[in-house]
């Protein structure tokens, strides 16, 4: 039997079973990108300690915000967060290397019908920046909905 991977832990003691990255369709047509390319390979990360908890191999999901809110891609973190200068906008951004492949969408309403998902950060704290945490039971609810 392989050793159990230690889960990252938030400052409040929450064990993170998966990370949730948020996509605002009013900012970028991520659904169009996924339709054309099938996946994304990096995602922006809000400033803060959570970025330092990201490691290769950790499960990750992509959450679409807005009227069609829900999970639209799944995969994993593929490396450590890094900073990159955006020459066009002359600003620095933090990026998480990921491999998030398109999945059949699981809408927020479907997930909220499962009591395991009702306390997810994306529900309780919708303005929180990426990455958001999913507990084991919240991840189980998403995986069950994905089939």
Domain boundaries of the chain, sorted by first residue: 18-142
Residue 2 has pLDDT above 90, yes or no: no
pLDDT score at 1? 42
- 3-class secondary structure, 85: strand
pLDDT in tens, 89-139: 777 889 999 999 999 999 999 999 999 999 999 999 999 999 999 999 999
Residue 86 has pLDDT above 80, yes or no: no
How far is it, in rounded angstroms, from Cα 141 to Cα 18?
12
Say which CATH topology domain 18-142 has.
Answer: ph1033 like fold (3.10.590)
pLDDT in tens, 35-64: 999 999 999 999 999 999 999 999 999 999
């Amino acid at each position: 039997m392989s050793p159990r991977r230690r889960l990252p832990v938030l400052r409040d003691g929450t064990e993170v079973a998966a990370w949730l990255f948020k996509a605002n369709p009013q900012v970028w047509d991520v659904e169009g990108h996924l339709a054309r390319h099938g996946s994304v390979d990096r995602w922006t990360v809000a400033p803060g300690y959570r970025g330092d908890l990201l490691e290769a191999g950790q499960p990750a999901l992509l959450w679409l915000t807005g009227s069609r809110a829900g999970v639209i891609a799944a995969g994993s973190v593929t490396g450590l967060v890094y900073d990159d200068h955006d020459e066009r906008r002359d600003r620095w951004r933090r990026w998480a290397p990921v491999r998030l492949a398109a999945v059949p969408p699981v809408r927020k309403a479907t997930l909220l019908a499962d009591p395991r998902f009702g306390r997810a950060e994306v529900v309780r704290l919708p303005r929180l920046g990426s990455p958001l945490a999913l507990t084991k039971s919240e991840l189980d609810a998403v995986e069950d909905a994905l089939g």
